[in-house]
Amino acid sequence: MRSNGTSVTGGSNGIVGVWPGDWLSDRRHYYALVLMIVAVALCALVAIAYGPFGRTLRAARDSPLRAEAIGIDVRLRQWQGFALAGAFAGLAGGLFAFSKGSISPESLAIPHSVDALVMVLLGGLNALFGPLIGSALFTWLQDTLARTTEYWRAMVGAGILVLVLLFPQGVGGALARLVRSR
């Protein structure tokens, strides 16, 4: 008999009953822990982005030929960046699964992938905290518009179109430019 992995993944139901320990059963304790983990992760991201590793990643992205010429192993740095991104994504996924008590295949559906891209575009591609700003803005727009209209996704789309036209670098990029100009 062949196994399709349902015993491991839960199939279409996903993995259910994923709760943190009893000491985190109070929502305030869990919120405080998540807030602390996110703050530490953001500090680590800032340190990485502005440290030597972040600079080599930017060099490899901007001009791989020049990076190779000065001795940077571009392929290795790309793999290391990919692994680092996966580690942070895994941390976020673990926190998400614990907050819901389960994880289902619908969490990886196409609309959620599009939502993630919209968040990044709203915040700005080249701003370090752009995706964070974009996710807050997207969540606020979604919550606000979902209460007022049935076609909230169309309204969010129109709002994103306006924001992209007004702020080509995203809201985070516009804020970073404003801070730099002062």
138 and 92 within one domain: no
Q: Last residue of a domain, which of 93, 108, 123?
A: 108
User: Within the chain, which residues score under 70 in pLDDT?
Assistant: 1-14, 16-17
H or E element in which residue 175 lies: helix 170-181
* 122 vs 26: CA distance, rounded Å: 33
Q: What is the pLDDT of residue 148?
A: 85
116 and 102 within one domain: no
Structural domain including 70 reads 1-108
63 and 12 within one domain: yes
- pLDDT digits 0-9 by tens, 86-120: 999 999 888 888 877 777 777 777 877 788 888 88
147 and 65 within one domain: no
97 and 123 within one domain: no
What is the model's pTM? 0.74
149 and 89 within one domain: no
Paired tokens of 167: 């702020």
Q: Last residue of a domain, which of 77, 108, 139?
A: 108
Q: Last residue of a domain, which of 56, 85, 108?
A: 108
28 and 101 within one domain: yes
How many domains does the structure of the chain reveal?
Answer: 2
167 and 125 within one domain: yes
